[in-house]
Amino acid sequence: MATKQKTLQDAFYETLKDVYYAEKQSVRALKKSAKAAEHDELKQAFETHAEESAVQVERLQQVFEIIGKPTRAKTCEAMQGLTAEMEEDLEDFGDSPAADAVLAACAQAVEHYEIARYGTLKTWATQLGYKDAAKLLDETLQEEKKTDQLLSQIAERINVEGSEEETDDVEAAPKRGSKAKAA
């Protein structure tokens, strides 16, 4: 029995379902991160982006409508991995001076994943002739990039604060985050 060959349309829909799941997970993770964050600016960034992400979920629902497909989520293994890593890091670093720096790094990992996915979806939407969908996806892409830049700025400050604890080893490596930007 011959199977139907997959198309870019199929890839677009499957990736859209994946991102829909990921974005819904992101809203939950951001709310949890906001509760865990000590640094006021980081807490505010998480709260603001959680609200923004809820709107992004609505935008994705509009994209499903535009392409005439049912709004469905498909388990996103990448987002599950990123949120599991965040949970583990919260457990490991939760009461340490580095906790907020670690939270910011986890959030940036999520943002980088979302930037990659929204960039791909926007390109594919354009190639498939979904002009309105491409516009909605680009709007979200720009928000994700802006959030990543904000997290980088915040991380530069809190990484320094989190690295201020002195070590006993005189020849220790440079303090984490003291000069490097969070990735």
- How many CB atoms within 10 Å of residue 178? 12
User: pTM for the complete prediction?
Assistant: 0.83
Mean predicted confidence (pLDDT) in 161-175:
46
Task: Give the angle subtended at the CA of 152 by the CAs of 149 and 155, to the nearest 5°.
Answer: 150
Q: How confident is the model at residue 171 (pLDDT cuts 50, 70, 90)?
A: very low
Q: Pull the structure tokens for residue 88.
A: 């583990």
Q: Pull the structure tokens for residue 150.
A: 């904000």
pLDDT at 44: 96
Q: Pull the structure tokens for residue 39.
A: 């640094």
Under a CB-based contact definition with an 8 Å cutoff, are residues 129 and 67 in contact? no
When the pLDDT of each residue in the chain is averaged and rounded to a whole number, the result is 88
Residue 107, classed as helix, strand or coil, is helix
Q: How far out from the chain centre does Cα 82 lie?
A: 9
pLDDT at 164: 58
